[in-house]
Structure 1
Amino acid sequence: MKILWFIPTHGDSRYLGTSKGARAATFDYFKQVAVAADTLGYEGVLLPTGRSCEDSWITAASLIDATRRLKFLVALRPGLVQPSQSARMAATLDRLSGGRLIVNLVTGGDAHELAGDGQFLSHEARYEESAEFLKIWREILARSHDGEEFDYEGRHLKVQGAKLLYPPVSKPYPQVFFGGSSEAAHDLAAEQVDTYLTWGEPPAAVAAKVADVSARAAKHGRKLSFGIRLHVIVRETEDEAWRAAAELVSQLDEKVVEAAQAKFAQMDSVGQRRMAELHKGKFNKANIREGLEISPNLWAGVGLVRGGAGTALVGNPEQVAERIKEYAALGLDYFVLSGYPHLEEAHRFAELVFPLLPLSVQSKLPGRTLTGPFGEIVANTFVPKHTLVSKISQS
């Protein structure tokens, strides 16, 4: 089980859909979140992509020297950069970071945004281009270890004598993540990617996705790993957690929700439609669980105004840990999480939930590799006892 966090390169806030409690997207803040995730023992961080975000590649590169073990899950956007150039960027970032790059293939689902980036292909054609892009990208990187060239001619892309002189540290290439809910997306995942990443849907829906992609991959003699993208709202008690969820959307205006849902409805992303179907635009400030708790402890309220991943696990540490274990039992290895605000919630989740999970990071948790007092010494005399070990799950 590997837990990743999130760098909010589109800005951060204590409340959704308002500037109240907002934090600007600055390098200093990104670095704070990255350093926190690194020292707390998260496997890596996801850097989002799109015109609402700072560039993920430049941001990831800027954080290399501020971190030690942290991996960077960075977006590949077919159609915006040629695959050979993207391969060089990936090899460089992987080399300079000491093999800490993971890539996330993103085809895009907003036609208006894509048009602004010079991408005018249909949904089906975008996946065709993405498949060609990824094949070229993978082959250039894989062959770079032996200094080989690569030729390819497809419907959308063509290269002749493509060659990379500086190979990546990761072999044969950095691990490729990808998420998509359409038939074309599942086919692409089955044929080429390493890890299929789904947005947070109820366990039965996730199980169906895992089974479908696994069956398609088996036809190609391949086996994928799986992951899930979720928000988390965890507090020491269940009541506190749901109060925190209510606080998160307490400044939301119904008109803002309507405007956001109208925009999402214009997208051709199947995954975005599935997110919208979970909440159906319903919003009752008096009872935020009504119509939005779509499965035990799984809340669709984030998706009222946030595109992409729109669900959160809400509950006390034991409840959130159990939900994560339920997803893990379906075959999921990677959990890409986030919370508002991201700096504080990175600490909170690590403190409350990490000790309850069967993680490889247990040996890195505070108190396992350090010596000395933990917490503020009382009256210059009394040293607080460290109790983390007693909480750690033996599962």
Structure 2
Amino acid sequence: MSLPPCEVSWFSALCDDDYEFLGVPDTRLQSSWEHCRDIVLQADSLGFDNVLLPSGYALGIDTTAFAAAIATWVKRIRLLMAVRIGESWPPQLARQIATIDQMLGGRLAVNIISSDLPGEVLESAPRYARTVEAMSILRTLLNGEALDHEGEFWKLKLKPPRIGTVSGRAPQFYFGGLSDPARDAAAKGADVYLMWPDTLPGMRAIIADLRERAEREGRSLRFGYRVHVVVRETEEAARAAADRLISRLDGDTGAKIRANSLDSGSAGVRRQAELREASGGEYIEDNLWTGIGRARSGCGAAIVGDPDQVLAKLEAYRAEGIEAFILSGYPHAAEADLFARHVLPRLDHRPLG
């Protein structure tokens, strides 16, 4: 069966998520303009299609400011800029998105995060309802259309801003979340549904459910997969590298890291914990290692193996309908180089069109 090319993205650690040893802070790897800039420029030079710029209120540096700055440095790579809806006024966010897209020559995509306003907590259902409204407002304005919106959270009647995207259309919205309200929000407003690691049967069930929800909305979705990688020339060396990564991590430190995350109680985080517990922190299926989740609240598994095994795992995901991968490893710069050397040239990849 012929599969469409997949998008292969890397990850820049804007939220202080870079380590040589998980759970052991390293000042050289903390989020800063210089460190995160270097990761993006390396991903650009290595041939990755896109790079995720994550966002967190309490950690690291501001994503929108960073995206605007790095847009003037990169040559060919796309940027996947995360935006926290709870912190944004949609008309202003639309202008920021359009401006950065112009700076990039049209190479911007947006990762929509259904966040709270810092200092406030909104229940899941209304928070995702607000996110659906925001996506609708953003899409209308970024499509260059006049807005007449009467919603629960915003009542706006506006002409579109003068500045628009290079294409004249809204960039692709990437969006993730495992709860029912999150899945409904994706079906109503997203372009690419992002999922965290799961077993192949679990992934099939999620994709089937999201396709059905989108069809009920008269829409379709594409699917992305966020996962860590540990690739070495042999499986033995890859497993040794994975073990080394958590070799200085104690249980209390890992639990504190997981508990401190803003999304530590979400359905997606619970699913990552279920996979880790079911595997005993080892391999939940061939080459999918959950030990990395001992010190992470979110994406909690890694593909571990030699180049053939890592490639086979990615191709298996592609066969299930995954068209976009967001990969990362520790330290991010070193693992990007290893993946680009051993696996990336063997994948049929290009940016999502």
SS in 2 for 1:67: coil
Return 5+ residue gaps in structure 1 as ranges. 109-113, 283-288, 362-395
**Aligned equivalent of 1:346:** 336
Residue pair 1:15, 1:21 contacting (<8 A) in 2 also = no
SS in 1 for 2:45: helix
Relative to structure 2, which stretch is displaced further, 304-313 or 334-343?
A: 304-313
Q: 1:137 to 1:266 in 2, by over 3 A?
A: closer
Residue 359 (1) aligns with residue 349 (2):
yes
Map Cα deviations across residues 326-350 of structure 1 (whole Å, 9 max, x no partner).
Answer: 0000000000000111111111101
Structure number with the bigger relative contact order (C-alpha 8 A, sep ≥ 6) is: 2
Letter in 1 for 2:134: F
**Aligned equivalent of 1:88:** 95
Report the alpha carbon displacement of residue 149 of structure 1 after superposing the two structures with TM.
2.4
TM-score normalised by length of structure 2? 0.92
Report the alpha carbon displacement of residue 259 of structure 1 after superposing the two structures with TM.
2.6
Map Cα deviations across residues 96-119 of structure 1 (whole Å, 9 max, x no partner).
Answer: 1111110011113xxxxx46x143
Q: Matches of 1:59 and 1:96 in 2, distance apart?
A: 13
SS in 2 for 1:204: helix
**Aligned equivalent of 2:127:** 126
Letter in 1 for 2:25: S
Report the alpha carbon displacement of residue 209 of structure 1 after superposing the two structures with TM.
0.7
Relative to structure 2, which stretch is displaced further, 8-17 or 124-133?
A: 8-17
**Aligned equivalent of 1:2:** 7
**Aligned equivalent of 2:79:** 72
**Aligned equivalent of 1:388:** none
Q: Matches of 1:48 and 1:22 in 2, distance apart?
A: 19
Residue 319 (1) aligns with residue 309 (2):
yes
Return 5+ residue gaps in structure 2 as ranges. 1-5
Letter in 2 for 1:6: F
Residue pair 2:288, 2:301 contacting (<8 A) in 1 also = yes
**Aligned equivalent of 1:382:** none
Residue pair 1:15, 1:22 contacting (<8 A) in 2 also = no
**Aligned equivalent of 1:241:** 238
Q: Matches of 2:181 and 2:119 in 1, distance apart?
A: 22
Residue pair 1:13, 1:340 contacting (<8 A) in 2 also = yes
> How many aligned positions are there?
344
Map Cα deviations across residues 149-206 of structure 1 (whole Å, 9 max, x no partner).
Answer: 2111111112122421111113421110000101111111111111001011111111
Match of 1:32 among 38, 41, 46: 38
Residue pair 1:257, 1:305 contacting (<8 A) in 2 also = yes
**Aligned equivalent of 1:297:** 287
SS in 2 for 1:13: coil
Report the alpha carbon displacement of residue 5 of structure 1 after superposing the two structures with TM.
0.1
Residue pair 1:149, 1:162 contacting (<8 A) in 2 also = yes
Map Cα deviations across residues 3-36 of structure 1 (whole Å, 9 max, x no partner).
Answer: 0000011332211001258523222222221111
**Aligned equivalent of 1:18:** 24
Q: 1:37 to 1:266 in 2, by over 3 A?
A: closer
Residue pair 1:232, 1:314 contacting (<8 A) in 2 also = yes
Q: Matches of 1:266 and 1:224 in 2, distance apart?
A: 24
Percent identity reads 38
Q: 1:64 to 1:346 in 2, by over 3 A?
A: same
Alignment of 1:166-315 (within 5 A): 166-263=163-260, 267-280=264-277, 291-315=281-305
> Pairwise CA RMSD of aligned residues?
1.9
The structure with the largest alpha-carbon Rg is 1
TM-score normalised by length of structure 1? 0.83
**Aligned equivalent of 2:155:** 158
Report the alpha carbon displacement of residue 248 of structure 1 after superposing the two structures with TM.
0.3
Match of 2:50 among 41, 44, 48: 44
Q: 1:358 to 1:348 in 2, by over 3 A?
A: same
Q: Matches of 1:241 and 1:327 in 2, distance apart?
A: 20
Q: Matches of 1:82 and 1:265 in 2, distance apart?
A: 21
